[in-house]
Chain A
Amino acid sequence: MTDSEPLTTLSAIIAAIEGEEAAVYAYGVAAPRLSGDQSDLARGALAAHRLRIIVLRESLPPADQPAAPGGFLVDPPPDAAAAAALLATVEARLAATYADLAAASSGDQRLDAVRSARESAVRSVAWGAPPEAFPGRGA
């Protein structure tokens, strides 16, 4: 969702796909800095994000599929703390993106978007971010 466009279900789904693809990349660059329980957490989260991309893309007809991601400008985190902070940030932003999708959809798709928002907010805290009253929107 860019600032000039109205909230539509299509734009909200595309934003969620983009957010998920960015998250998958972030988990990839963070992985070398993680070990032990953090590696386990990252593997589980990565699998969940990949599944969400498939589910979101399946909800769109071929003509509406967003282009494949062209590139990422994330610098590799220098240590485990930076890796966790990156993932906490990405997850919090994704929670807000899914709240937008919940607002732009209805029925089961809305409930699924709320579940995704909850999961991302929980992961953000698991990566060390403080809980927020409105996740991804600033405290």
Chain B
Amino acid sequence: MNRVRRRTFLGLTAVAAFPLTAACTSDPDTDPTQTPEPTPTDSTSPTTDENPLRTQVGQEEGSLIARYEATIAAHPNLSASLAPLAEQHRAHLTAVIGSSAAPSPQPPPAMIPSDSTVALAEIIAAERSAADARTTACGMATSVELARLLALIAASEASHAEALSTPAASSEGVAP
């Protein structure tokens, strides 16, 4: 019982000790009570039986990146919103398939809508689909590392859809 009580105290204190005004980009490694050892990039040694799953997710991330790049090329006015998120998908890709593995080149999506509002809506829809696909993939993962990674990516992609759906937040409320 003491163990549980102590752990509870640590957990709550850890939240309390987090600087109130800190952005989420603060380094969580400074707080060992809330940030366990594994990091998303520690999964570059995939077990063989998970390779097909990693390859599949890697291809899907590659397709998303291609869509982002084509949309940015067609609509430079969206670049400020989209480029940072495309970079996060590149981080997802590296975490899933490892930095040494070269992703197979992805053909860009067939058509990027000429209306930037429609193009943005398609990106948002693609992020939601990706979050659902990552959720399903997480359910199929056999290692702890890949399951955690896919859960984090699912959460990230869901948050991308949210960020792109609230332009007011991205222009005013979001700290750099």
Contact = CB atoms under 8 A, between A and B. Distances in A.
Interface of A: 1-3, 7, 14-15, 18-19, 21-22, 25-26, 66-67, 69-75, 77, 82, 84-86, 88-90, 92-93, 95-100, 102-104, 107, 110-111, 113-115, 117-122, 124-126, 128-139
B106 to A, nearest CB: 19
Residue among A66, A115, A135 having the largest count of chain B Cβ atoms under 10 Å: A135
Contacts of B7: 2, 14, 18, 66
Contact of A125 (B88, B144, B163): B163
Interface string B84-108: 1101110110010000000000000
A121 B5 contact: no
B23 A118 contact: no
B126 interface: no
Interface string B11-47: 1110111101111111111001111110110000000
B146 to A, nearest CB: 9
Contacts of B26: 138
Residue among B36, B91, B134, B159 having the largest count of chain A Cβ atoms under 10 Å: B159
Contacts of A18: 7-8, 11-12
A60 to B, nearest CB: 11
A2 B159 contact: no
Interface string B141-166: 00011011011111110111111001
B24 A124 contact: yes
Contacts of A73: 12-13, 16-17
Interface residues of B, number: 68
B111 interface: no
B24 A134 contact: no
A1 B151 contact: no
A3 B113 CA distance: 49
B40 to A, nearest CB: 5
Given A85-B23, A132-B156, A135-B156, 6 more contacts: A73-B13, A85-B21, A93-B34, A97-B34, A122-B158, A131-B88
14 contacts: A3-B32, A3-B33, A19-B15, A69-B8, A70-B12, A72-B12, A89-B24, A107-B139, A126-B169, A130-B23, A130-B24, A131-B156, A136-B24, A139-B88
Contacts of B88: 131-133, 139
Given A103-B147, A132-B24, A22 B11 contact: yes
